[in-house]
Amino acid sequence: MADGYARVSGKPGVAFVITGPGLTNTLTPMAQARADSVPMLVVSGVNEKSTLNKGLGHLHELPNQHTLAKTVALVSEHVDQPGDLTAALDRSFAPYSAGRPGPTHIQIPLDIAGLAAESALPSKDHPHQALDSDLVQQAVDRLSAARKVVILAGGGAKMTREDLQTLAERLDAPVVQTVNARGLMHGHPLTVPASPSLKAVRTLIEDADCVLALGTELGPTDYDMYATGGMASMSGLIRVDICPDQLTRHEAAIAIEGDTDQAISSLLSALPGKSNQRDGMDRAKRTRAAAFEEIGLDYRAQVGILAAIRAAVPNALIVGDSTQPIYAGNLYYDHDRPGGWFNAATGYGALGYGIPAAIGAAIADPEASVICIAGDGGAQFSLPEIMAAVDQNLRITFVLWNNHGYGEIATSMEGVGVEVIGCDPTPPDFAATAASFGVPYKRVRQNPIAVAAALTEANAQDGPSILEIDIAGRRPDQE
Q: Across all residues in the chain, what is the average pLDDT? A: 94
In this predicted structure, what is the pLDDT of residue 321? 97
3-state secondary structure of 198: coil
Of the candidate ranges 33-42, 253-262, 370-379, 415-424, the one whose mean pLDDT is the lowest: 415-424
3-state secondary structure of 464: coil
In this predicted structure, what is the pLDDT of residue 477? 39
Residues in the chain: 479
pLDDT at 413 over 80: yes
- In the chain, the percentage of residues whose pLDDT exceeds 90 is 85
Neighbours of 460 (CB within 10 A): 10
Phi/psi of residue 398, each to 5°? -90, 105
Strands (E) across 126-209 are located at 149-153, 175-177, 191-192
In this predicted structure, what is the pLDDT of residue 123? 66
Domains 133-291 and 295-478 share a fold: yes
d(CA 372, CA 457): 15
Each residue of 244-303: pLDDT tens digit?
Answer: 989 988 889 999 999 999 999 999 999 988 877 789 999 999 999 999 999 999 999 999
**Residue 477 burial (CB < 10 Å; 0-12/13-18/19+)?**
exposed
| Nearest one of 124, 90, 107, 125 to 22, comparing CA atoms | 107
pLDDT at 479 over 70: no
For residue 124, name the pLDDT band (cuts at 50, 70, 90).
low
| Nearest one of 191, 172, 169 to 181, comparing CA atoms | 191
pTM to 2 decimal places: 0.94
Domain 2-113 -> CATH class = alpha beta
pLDDT at 380 over 80: yes
d(CA 148, CA 129): 30
* CATH, domain 295-478, list 1.10.600.10, 3.40.50.970, 3.40.50.150, 1.10.3720.10: 3.40.50.970
| Mean pLDDT on 306-327 | 97
Domain 133-291 -> CATH class = alpha beta
* 4 within 8 A of 358, measured Cβ to Cβ: yes
**DSSP of 165-181:** HHHHHHHT--EEE-GGG
Each residue of 77-87: pLDDT tens digit?
Answer: 999 999 999 99
- In the chain, the percentage of residues whose pLDDT exceeds 70 is 98
Of the candidate ranges 5-9, 292-296, 462-466, 473-477, the one whose mean pLDDT is the lowest: 473-477
Locate the domains of the chain by residue range: 2-113, 133-291, 295-478
Most confident of 90-104, 112-126, 199-213: 199-213
